[in-house]
Structure 1
Amino acid sequence: MNRTVRVLTTTFALAALLGTAGCADNGGTAGGASSSDGQLTIGDQAKTLQTLVKASGALKGSKYGVKWAEFQGAAPLFQAVQAGAADTSYSADLPSLQALSGGVQVKNVAALKNDGSHVGIVVKKDSSVRNVADLKGKKVVVSSAKGSISEYLLANALQQAGLSYSDVTVQYLLPTDAQAAFASGKVDVWATFGVYQAVALQQGGRLLIDGNDGRISGYGFIGASDKALADKGKRAALADFLDRLSKALAWGRSHPKEYAAAIEKDTGASPAIAKTLATTAYGEVLPITPDVTKSVQKVADTMHGIKVLDPNVEVADSVDTSLFTK
């Protein structure tokens, strides 16, 4: 492929705790199966999917091998998919759009959904900023790089408040750096997500808004490489895996304490952070319907309008809806 793959780093949750790793999952056949046997290498971020699948026992009885390719963020995961080192991707909507815009040969095969509360704009408790309109003329730190889900929340919230993106000054900082700056008082307004949002609030921050009520789409995606989708064995295994992932997420919803304990054990997260990650995780797997693509197209169009996503993406043209239809 001649086009340079341009994928921006967008997710670094638990980056200080985890490194890049790959391993076989004991719930399925250990690694070594050929592609005709349906061997899958599942791309993951910060052990999120692996921890859930392992704790729920969702892979027990599977007839194909599963290996996990673990990364700290979406960018290296999509690069691995492009290089053939992972068969699948896992990310929020905007990182997926960035990958597609950058030329990664991947199709979204199933949607993930949560309420959007895991993304937020946090201000210092004594900040004069009381609503989104008050952000005019302010500096806003966005975690982590251009094109993150927290940047979409900021862009959409400003638009809803009748402001333009140029009404604020955006500075990009990796979450760990932004966290330190926020804690020291050097940052007054921080658009962030997940564990970093929870820590900011624990450190005396005040939530201005979160991604609830449609401020973000709340969708994420499981993607599959074009190469994997062309392999009959992998395709069948992936369809089964999506069904098992759906059951694992249902287990997570009905066993929040056990899920949080598994996160704490597998990642080294504190009990409070593990509870936050468990309760704000994606709650279900959904088919990619026209309603899903319409919602995510709004994300693409908004970010293209502020020159963050270029070229734009036609979401409906980048999906394979045949693997998960439930």
Structure 2
Amino acid sequence: MDGLHLLSDRRTFLAGAAVLGLAACGGAGKSGRTKLVLGDQVHLLQSKAEAAGALTALPYDIEWANFVGAAPLLEALNAGAVDTAPAGDLPVVLAAAAGVPLKVIAGSVSSTRDIGIIVPPGSAIRRVADLAGHRVIVSSARGSISHYLLLEALKEAKLDRRKVDIGFMLPNDAAAAFAAGRVDAWATFGTYQIAAEARGARLLRDGQGINTGLTLIAASQKALDDPAKRSAIRDALARLRTASQWAQAHPDAYAAVFAKATGVDPKLAKLIVDRQNPVLVAPDAAVVKPLQRVVDRFHADGELPVHVDVASIVDPRVFPA
């Protein structure tokens, strides 16, 4: 098994990053001030910060880098293209297990309904046990939260995983394949799941009782070792925490900004915000303990190449008091 198996294709991503102009993170922006490159997925953090007005009058420069999934975002963190990366719990652990120098600096807990195995409208598949002999696509790579849900759901249904044709695609590609009827079922999450359900997809199993619902924010060790960047990251976390508190108190206003930033239908944006509007918290025992249980189980299944002590990849000192 490839030690960096959280990535579907390392070289393809790096080539794409070059095309997109993702420069390696420098210590200073054009003004000579410290510069942070904040990674994001589907504009969730950026739209929340902008809706709350949380990133104004900054004593440092920031740049946002948006990605479609955890695998390319964490590869960007490894390559030095971003300083921070929000991602699901297991992708971050897999990146650390593969040698990516990172630390978890914050967390949040969303509804575990926000991860699901879905089938197209009219599908004859009615339960997880019916997936035998069928093609199931996972977003976005081995070790994703969707992959974990699928494997645990198959065990729950007493269905041998070898009887299911499991494939992996980045979320946008998986969405296109699912919409075109090229796959029988899709293990996905978040915006992609909600959009598919809005178009009639049927849920077989969500993450309740299986997934943690955790999203983690990881920072590169290089950024944390730079005193100026570490200070800027700490300040940014404080602002993002304030933004998350504001968004929980003003979900309609946040949904409107999210819809504008992403171009999704406002009704769909409201559904997304209802499920994905958690408050940012410190990576304390309430984050570490449930994640360690999942890591232990994933390792026992042979999906995690080396066992990871979650506490060893956490830096709780960065999160503002």
TM-score bucket (shorter structure): 0.7 to 0.9
Out of 149, 156, 166, which is 1:153 matched to?
Answer: 149
Q: Is 1:281 aligned to residue 242 of structure 2?
A: no
The more displaced of 166-175 and 234-243 is 166-175
**Whole-Å separation in 2 of the counterparts to 1:54 and 1:77:** 21
Q: Measure the CA separation in 2 of the matches of 1:305 and 1:59.
A: 42
Match of 2:68 in 1: 72
In 2, the alpha carbon distance for the partners of 1:128 and 1:5 equals 36
Is this contact kept in 2: 1:181–1:187, CA < 8 A? yes
Q: Which residue of 2 aligns with 1:312?
A: 307
- In 2, the alpha carbon distance for the partners of 1:158 and 1:64 equals 48
- Worse overlay, 243-252 or 156-165: 156-165
| Mapping 1:110-259, distance limit 5 Å | 110-211=106-207, 213-259=208-254
Letter of the structure 1 residue corresponding to residue 63 of structure 2: K
Equivalent position of 1:8 in the other structure: 7
Residue identity opposite 1:270 in structure 2: D
Aligned residue identity for 2:89: D
Runs of 5+ consecutive residues of structure 2 not aligned to the other structure: 10-18
Residue-pair matches, total: 307
- Please name the residue that 1:299 is paired with: 294
Q: CA deviation at 1:112?
A: 1.7
Kept after mapping to 1: 8 A contact 2:77/2:84: yes
Match of 1:216, SS? Answer: coil
Question: Which digits, 9 at most, give the CA deviation of each residue in 1:217-246, with x for residues without a partner?
Answer: 111111111122122222222222111111
- The secondary structure found in structure 2 opposite 1:117 is helix
Residue type of the partner of 1:225? S
Whether the 8 Å CA contact 1:151–1:191 is kept in 2: the answer is yes
Separation (CA, whole Å) in 2 of partners of 1:21 and 1:247? 31
* Counterpart residue number, 1:15: none
Post-superposition offset of 1:122: 1.0
Match of 2:30 among 20, 24, 32: 32
CA RMSD, aligned part only?
A: 2.9
* 1:22–1:70 CA contact under 8 A, matched in 2: no
User: SS of 2:183's equivalent?
Assistant: coil
- Rate the CA distance shift 1:140–1:305 in 2: closer, same or farther, 3 A: farther
Question: 1:44: Cα distance to partner?
Answer: 1.8
Cα distance in 2 for partners of 1:179, 1:85 equals 26
* Residues 159 and 289 (structure 1), Cα distance of their counterparts in 2 relative to 1, 3 Å cut: farther
Q: Take 2:269 and 2:20, find their aligned partners in 1: how far apart are those partners?
A: 20
Aligned to 1:196, the other structure's residue is in SS state helix
Which stretch of structure 1 is more off in the superposition, 160-169 or 290-299?
160-169
Greater share of residues in helix: 2
Tell me, in whole angstroms, the C-alpha distance in 1 between the residues paired with 2:177 and 2:222.
Answer: 43
8 A contact 1:122–1:205 mirrored in 2: yes
Q: Distance in 2 between matches of 1:7 and 1:142?
A: 12
Separation (CA, whole Å) in 1 of partners of 2:92 and 2:212 = 13
| 8 Å CA contact retained: 2:83, 2:220 | yes
* Equivalent residue in structure 2 for 1:94, among 90, 104, 108: 90
Does the 8 Å contact 1:22/1:67 carry over to 2?
no
Quote the offset at 1:186 in angstroms.
4.1
Identity, in percent, stands at 42
Go from structure 1 to structure 2 and tell me whether the alpha carbon gap of 1:157 and 1:197 turns closer, same or farther (over 3 Å shift): same
Task: For residue 38 of structure 1, report the CA deviation from its aligned partner.
Answer: 4.5
Q: Which amino acid aligns with 1:47?
A: H
- 1:131-185 per-position Cα deviation (integer Å, ceiling 9, x unaligned): 3344445432222322222111111222334444334331223434433443344
Q: Residues 64-104 of structure 1, C-alpha deviation per residue, up to 9 Å, x if partnerless? A: 22222333332332233223332211111122122112211
User: Where do 5+ consecutive residues of structure 1 fail to align?
Assistant: 11-18, 24-29
Distance (Å, rounded) in 2 between the aligned partners of 1:191 and 1:75: 16
CA distance in 2, matches of 1:232, 1:157: 44
Supply the distance in 2 between the matched residues of 1:222 and 1:167 (Cα, whole angstroms): 35
Question: What is the distance in 1 between the residues matched to 2:98 and 2:320?
Answer: 28
